[in-house]
Structure 1
Amino acid sequence: MACRISELVIDAADPARLAEFWSKVLGYVELGREDDGSIEIGPPGVGFGGPQPTLILSPSGDPRAGKLRLHIDVNATDRDQDAELERLLALGARPVDVGQTGTESWHVLADPEGNEFCLLHTRLQPL
């Protein structure tokens, strides 16, 4: 038996803002809020324990120190990469230079709080 990723926790200065952003990016819905200000989002109708991990946006006032050691990769499911890039930028993502050469098949972006993520080229089937 092995483990599987059930949820990812992201420290956030403004959990509500990031929950809204990532919900729109991933097609997730809010699953719950904790007294500490944490917000959990996940796939509609499935939630925690489904085939996709949920995200918990956890309040933190700690400044980020250096490059993230983990980042999220996303793939479009219903459009090509260029159209998805336009959609993500309209939602508030911004391009980030982390030393790319310009020949990569992916785009490096940051969410509204500067957390890097990549938009990969391959279109995936929706779950």
Structure 2
Amino acid sequence: MACRITELVLDCRDPELLAGFWCEVLGFVVLGREGDDIEIGPREGADGLQLTLVLSRTQEPKNGKLPLHFDLNSTDRDQDAELERLLAAGARFADVGQSGQESWYVLADPEGNEFCLLRARVS
């Protein structure tokens, strides 16, 4: 077997703010804290099979579009209803040069990190 990705680390200025946002968006919980860093993941915990997200404090400003972003799919509602939920949670629309004809929405979290809400619903 080769290596697996077990966690993604997102540098941010306010780990508490982003932990709250991403926990609400993904249905995650706080799994642990180490210094200023916060690890969030599925309620079942970090079993090594599902990715966790580590929000790591940095003072470096975000510069430009992220070279890596999350693609999200709703699990229990259509895209428009999920868009409303994400906007109410603190997401905002982001412009990364899309044409406006895409089947997905480009959004940003409270610190401006881009992510996409895709159309398909997944279980």
TM-score range, shorter chain: over 0.9
Identity of aligned residues (%): 66
Q: Could you tell me which runs of 5 or more consecutive residues in structure 2 were left unpaired when the two chains were aligned.
A: none
1:108 Cα deviation after fit: 0.1
For 2:12 and 2:81, the matched residues in 1 are separated by 28
The DSSP-based 3-state class of the residue aligned with 2:19 is helix
**How do residues 63-78 of structure 1 correspond to structure 2 at under 5 angstroms?**
63-78=61-76
Q: Is the 8 A contact 1:95 1:110 kept in 2?
A: yes
Q: Deviations over 1:68-105 (max 9, x none)?
A: 10001110000000000000000000001111111101
* Alpha-carbon RMSD: 0.9
Q: Which residue of 2 aligns with 1:13?
A: 13
Q: Deviations over 1:37-86 (max 9, x none)?
A: 00000000132413x21000000000112221000111000000000000
1:28 Cα deviation after fit: 0.2
Q: Which residue of 2 aligns with 1:47?
A: 46
In structure 2, what residue type is equivalent to 1:123?
A: R
In structure 1, what residue type is equivalent to 2:40?
A: I
TM-score (norm 2): 0.96
In structure 2, what residue type is equivalent to 1:101?
A: S
Q: Is the 8 A contact 1:21 1:92 kept in 2?
A: yes
For 1:114 and 1:48, the matched residues in 2 are separated by 30
Q: Is the 8 A contact 1:6 1:48 kept in 2?
A: no
Q: Which residue of 2 aligns with 1:96?
A: 94
Q: Is the 8 A contact 1:72 1:118 kept in 2?
A: yes
Q: Which residue of 1 aligns with 2:29?
A: 29
Q: Is the 8 A contact 2:31 2:45 kept in 1?
A: no
Q: Could you tell me which runs of 5 or more consecutive residues in structure 1 were left unpaired when the two chains were aligned.
A: none
